[in-house]
């Protein structure tokens, strides 16, 4: 077991349509097709459903550009603080706190 966690604090803002389109079309073609296969985090009964749908859509989009799905988008996160935690023996965990400060990062080790 890895016993790792990351916590991020900051501001998230939705990307513009232009940024989303530009990023989508910069991705590998199979990743673009994969975006169409399912809406992320929706429940599925088996992996085979994803694989079958991928092959079906790969055939459908074999000619020309893969269109941007209407449900696909992104966010830009401006990070103010991050904490990395890794479990250790005897509850002697490692914790590191990164805080944005004067254009750089202040890094502190925290007690478990």
Active site residues: 91
d(CA 12, CA 81): 13
Exposure string over 30-69, b if 16+ CB within 10 A, otherwise e: eebbbbbbeeeeeeeeeeeeeeebbeebbeeeeeeebebe
Cβ 65 vs Cβ 11: under 8 Å: no
């Amino acid at each position: 077991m890895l016993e790792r966690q990351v916590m991020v604090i900051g501001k998230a803002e939705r990307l513009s349509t232009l940024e989303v389109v530009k990023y989508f079309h910069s991705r590998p073609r199979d990743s673009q097709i994969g975006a169409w296969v399912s809406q992320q985090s929706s429940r599925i009964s088996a992996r085979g459903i994803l694989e079958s749908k991928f092959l079906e859509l790969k055939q459908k989009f074999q000619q020309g550009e893969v269109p941007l799905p209407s449900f696909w988008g992104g966010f830009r996160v401006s990070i103010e603080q991050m904490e990395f935690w890794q479990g250790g023996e005897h509850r002697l965990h490692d914790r590191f706190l990164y805080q944005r400060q004067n254009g750089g990062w202040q890094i502190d080790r925290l007690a478990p």
